[in-house]
């Protein structure tokens, strides 16, 4: 049976695990990611209080956000989220989603929200240390004020680097599934270290990750093309 490596957090793999198993793959799970919440102080609370909108672009950002804030302090805020999983975190905290992106990407969230909200406002957008600034300048140019503190750190655990090396050398990995450019960069780093000749078939969640892979000179397919 062909083996595919899943590189997201274990708790994020349920849907992908089932999908690839139904496609005939044996799944191997090695997270190339660890998320660590940052300790935030009064400046975090001040930025929230000054904001009319809260933008949350992942379920993890939403979870860390509610760990840092008293729910009563944000009951009157408006929330824009990237997709249904993030909206579910809000629901679990008894908060209603005001706006959900039609397509679950940060780019689509920013663009679709901006098209519907022309009046200048204040936005609290907490993010990871690896988040790019795509779309932020456009919002500012339209008169919106953004607060963008680092809410959590996205790390590559050393023990999982070693585990990935061991698996690549010991097993024939037919394919790899990557859900972000950072996961691709981490996989490529280890792949080059073990000096394998043949790159496994690369599948990715979206076009942004596929373009990052193409930029490094490798081919990639979207998950739906499996």
pLDDT band at 105 (very low <50, low <70, confident <90, very high): confident
Indicate if 195 and 172 belong to the same structural domain: yes
Asked which of 95, 128, 153 is the last residue of a domain, the reply is 153
pLDDT band at 115 (very low <50, low <70, confident <90, very high): very high
* CA nearest to 33, candidates 3, 12, 50, 59: 12
Residue 177: predicted pLDDT: 98
Region 135-154 average pLDDT:
95
Distance between CA atoms of 128 and 62, rounded to whole angstroms? Answer: 11
Indicate if 28 and 77 belong to the same structural domain: no
Domain that holds residue 135: 36-153
Q: For the chain, what is the domain count?
A: 2
Indicate if 49 and 139 belong to the same structural domain: yes
Please name every residue paired with 47 in a beta bridge, in sequence order, or none if there are none: none
Which residue's structure tokens are 């339209």?
A: 142
**Residue 61 tokens, joined:** 């950002």
pLDDT band at 132 (very low <50, low <70, confident <90, very high): confident
Indicate if 85 and 166 belong to the same structural domain: no
Indicate if 52 and 75 belong to the same structural domain: yes
Q: Quote the mean pLDDT of the chain.
A: 94
CATH number at residue 23: 3.40.50.10090
Strands (E), the chain: 3-6, 26-29, 34-37, 53-56, 78-81, 99-100, 122-124, 127-128, 145-147, 150-155, 175-178, 201-204, 221-222
CA dihedral 146, 150, 156, 159 (to 10 degrees): -160
Asked which of 110, 137, 153 is the last residue of a domain, the reply is 153
pLDDT beyond 80 at 76: yes
Residue 92: predicted pLDDT: 95
* Selected residue with higher pLDDT from 41 and 214: 214
Residue 170: predicted pLDDT: 86
Indicate if 135 and 218 belong to the same structural domain: no
Region 194-221 average pLDDT:
93
Indicate if 22 and 68 belong to the same structural domain: no
Model pLDDT for residues 13-54, shown as the tens digit of each residue = 999 999 999 999 999 999 999 999 998 888 899 999 999 999
């Amino acid at each position: 049976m062909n083996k595919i490596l899943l590189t997201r957090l274990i708790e994020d793999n349920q849907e992908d695990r089932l999908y690839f198993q139904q496609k005939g793959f044996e799944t191997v799970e090695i997270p190339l990611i660890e998320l660590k919440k940052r300790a935030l102080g009064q400046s975090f609370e001040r930025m929230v209080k000054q904001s009319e909108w809260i933008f949350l672009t992942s379920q993890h950002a939403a979870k860390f956000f509610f760990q840092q804030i008293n729910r009563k302090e944000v009951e009157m805020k408006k929330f824009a989220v990237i997709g249904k999983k993030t909206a579910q975190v809000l629901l679990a905290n008894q908060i209603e989603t005001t706006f959900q992106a039609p397509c679950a990407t940060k780019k689509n969230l920013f663009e679709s929200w901006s098209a519907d909200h022309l009046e200048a406002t204040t936005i609290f957008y907490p993010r990871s240390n690896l988040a790019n600034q795509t779309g932020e300048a456009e919002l500012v140019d339209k008169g919106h004020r953004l607060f963008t503190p680092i809410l959590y750190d996205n790390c590559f655990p050393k023990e999982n680097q070693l585990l990935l090396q061991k698996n690549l050398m010991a097993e024939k990995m037919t394919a790899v599934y990557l859900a972000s450019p950072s996961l691709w960069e981490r996989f490529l780093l280890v792949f080059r270290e073990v000096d394998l000749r043949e790159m496994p078939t690369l599948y990715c969640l979206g076009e942004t990750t596929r373009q990052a892979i193409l930029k490094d000179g490798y081919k990639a397919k979207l998950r739906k093309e499996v």
